[in-house]
Structure 1
Amino acid sequence: MSYLERQQAAFAQSVQAVASKVAPKRTLAAPPVSAPSPAPSNTSSTSKNEESKDLKRKREPANVVFSQPAITGMGTEIGTQIQFAINYLKEKRDPKTIHDILGYLSQTYAPERARRTISDILKKHQKVKFIPDPKSKTWESGTFEHRPTINVRNKKDLIEFLQAKKDAQGIKIKDLKDGWPDCDAALHQLEAEHNILVTRQKKDNAAKMIWCDDPSLHTYIDPEFHALWNQVKLPSVDDTVRNLLAAGQKPASEDPSKRIKLPPKPKEKKKKAPRKGGRETNKHMTHLLKDFSHMKR
């Protein structure tokens, strides 16, 4: 055996030893060769177009009207029913049972859970007064009554309420009409009798707020006295202030028209502070930045 044959045999042995240690690689099978598809006909192309149109129609969202709120469930319905129930109690002004309220709301045959929810909310509502029944403790017992902002429904109660107030704040007509909606005629009569003081709006002369008044403070004054009072010439404000200052007294108030209003001060623009401690750059080019114009011929 020649030297070349021995080298070839040793190389073959080393290849076999290495191949036994390396895991064989998986070979992917070649895809089967399919037969050429026939040329598409007009009928097949039209059917494919129709299928693609159907898919697009399915993917398109349905037309949604966003101008109206969607039904979100029981919470919104019960909130609306509670408001209707309060308006019903406010209109009737008499205690009503839960069955009367459910009949007004057309909820008599609703599930018991929904009816009990309406009853529980009305019992805890601040605009509703619940009167429990001492003989029965079921959820259907007791009566409901509207609780106004001001519990006044006639002229006598209004005068007593105003006289019992411990402050000088008036009453808003809006709060009064919450429990006494048709009080306009009574207010006109009480104002004419000097039992109340009324402030009105300039636009439509509607009552805005009321205070308590005392009829005993209103006395008859003869028209002749009115005429004599109007003939008296009162000193002007300037003369009054001048006379008080001359007498060494300080006037209690000054004429608002004489006050000098100072013009508003213009806003001062902030000046930027000079930069301090900045780094000097291009020191290596100082000899190039010098003025050499004097060296020209």
Structure 2
Amino acid sequence: MEQSKAAFRERMQAQPVIRHERIAPASSSAMPPSVSKPKRPSFVSSTYASAPQASDLVAKQLFLIINILKSKDSPFSFDEIYQETGYDLTSSTNDELIESIRTNLKIISDFEAQTLQFRPKFDIKSKHDLLRLLESQKLSHGLEVDDEFKESFPNWQAAVQELEKSEDIIVFMNKEGAGAVPRVLFYNDSSLNVHMSEEFKTYWHQIKLPPEGDLEKELEKAGLKSMDTFSTKPKSVTKVKVKPKKTNKRIKLTNTHLEDIDLTKDFMGS
């Protein structure tokens, strides 16, 4: 065993040694002009990523001006805007902001008179204006109490409460109970109101509806057909189990050397 190990060492030592030479990287001065390191774009700087774009800056300035204009119904002068924001709307350095003000649909601008005013979506100043607006609306749509409505009429809550109390409008709330707020407003057209006797109202409220699960059965008893929305749950389709077909398995004869021998003859003695 020791002799074989010694012989193996001798054979390994006799093998030629191949050395891999390392190529030193060429210096930047030795690099050919076509492989030179690409230059960083001149517009990229350490503060470029954090500096806001001009359009973003104008959008912030415009947002601040619109919020100031919402604070009152009358116009603001350029001097008042300058006192509130520090933006000089007469200076050529604010050309981008001035152009954004001219084209903004929420601002009524008069550069000759040097005034700005907020333009609401709805012209509502009082509860009477609100009632006229609702009267002109389509009954199927109503008026949604969204942000644009609230911007148009800051004192909308008191007006809605008064008109609802006088039954001039119908208010749909976002939910029932505490914390409910108006969601949609409708004009209460008195010409559509049908007079009902107190006896009929009492009889109507005494009628109890069956549970939703029994509603279809009750309708069928009355000879009525239910709508598709009241149909019961779809019946589950029972899968028919298919029996596997029987296959005739053929027995493989392994003792092939006995094929020519009649075993019955040999064992029965016939």
Of 81-90 and 176-185, deviating more is 176-185
Q: What TM-score does the superposition give when structure 2 sets the normalisation length?
A: 0.56
**Alignment check: 8 A CA contact 1:102 1:115 kept:** no
Q: Which residue of 1 aligns with 2:132?
A: 160
Q: What TM-score does the superposition give when structure 1 sets the normalisation length?
A: 0.52
Where do residues 82-101 of structure 1 align in structure 2 (5 Å cutoff)?
A: 82-101=62-81
Q: Work out whether 1:172 is the aligned partner of 2:144.
A: yes
- The unaligned stretches of length 5 or more in structure 2 are 1-45, 240-254, 258-270
**Hey, what's the Cα distance between the residues in 2 that align with 1:212 and 1:144?**
33
**Alignment check: 8 A CA contact 2:137 2:143 kept:** no
Where do residues 1-297 of structure 1 align in structure 2 (5 Å cutoff)?
A: 70-108=50-88, 112-131=91-110, 133=112, 141-166=113-138, 168-174=140-146, 175-202=148-175, 204-215=179-190, 217=192, 223=198, 225-231=200-206, 238-244=217-223, 251=225, 253-254=226-227, 256=229, 258-263=231-236
Q: How many residues align?
A: 189
Code of the aligned partner of 2:92: R
Residue 231 of structure 1: CA displacement?
Answer: 4.9
Code of the aligned partner of 2:165: A
Of 114-123 and 83-92, deviating more is 114-123
**Alignment check: 8 A CA contact 1:152 1:180 kept:** yes
**Hey, what's the Cα distance between the residues in 1 that align with 2:80 and 2:69?**
10
How much is the aligned-residue C-alpha RMSD, in angstroms? Answer: 3.8
Tell me the secondary structure at the aligned position of residue 204 of structure 1: coil
Tell me the secondary structure at the aligned position of residue 169 of structure 1: coil
Q: 1:260 to 1:225 in 2, by over 3 A?
A: closer
**Alignment check: 8 A CA contact 2:216 2:231 kept:** no
**Hey, what's the Cα distance between the residues in 1 that align with 2:237 and 2:87?**
66
Q: 1:232 to 1:161 in 2, by over 3 A?
A: closer
- The unaligned stretches of length 5 or more in structure 1 are 1-63, 134-140, 246-250, 267-292
**Hey, what's the Cα distance between the residues in 2 that align with 1:220 and 1:94?**
46
Q: 1:196 to 1:96 in 2, by over 3 A?
A: same
Residue 162 of structure 1: CA displacement?
Answer: 1.6
Q: 1:112 to 1:255 in 2, by over 3 A?
A: closer
**Alignment check: 8 A CA contact 1:193 1:215 kept:** no
